Structure 1
Amino acid sequence: MVGPLAVELGKYGIRVNSLSPGAIMTPMTAALETDNPAILNFYRDSAPVGRLGTPQDLR
């Protein structure tokens, strides 16, 4: 799918890409395990790979 920025800036030879990883396990999201596990479970269950991503996944 080509986004609006890619269409708008393509005529100037500018390419637009994005990475949309979804929920990533960080210290902030790890705190959800104790603070609000229902939210963490929602993100985990809705992830296509069955788990939250890790920072290493984005490399």
Structure 2
Amino acid sequence: CPRCPCLSPGAVKVTPGHSPQDLALARAHGLPVLSVIGDDGTMCPPGGGWLQVRPQ
């Protein structure tokens, strides 16, 4: 940002299920913790339809 050169224009990923720091950040901002990988190792619906297993 030309007016705020100290700020980054980039995006930040937050993975509360994989990082204690990200979990604290998610809780502080009221973000949900979604489970996107099922017990069988396949992607679940919260991961998006394009990531789910499809029959071949």
TM-score over 0.5 (shorter chain): no
Instruction: Give me the TM-score of the superposition, normalised by structure 1.
Output: 0.28
Instruction: Give me the TM-score of the superposition, normalised by structure 2.
Output: 0.28
**Which structure shows the higher helix fraction?**
1
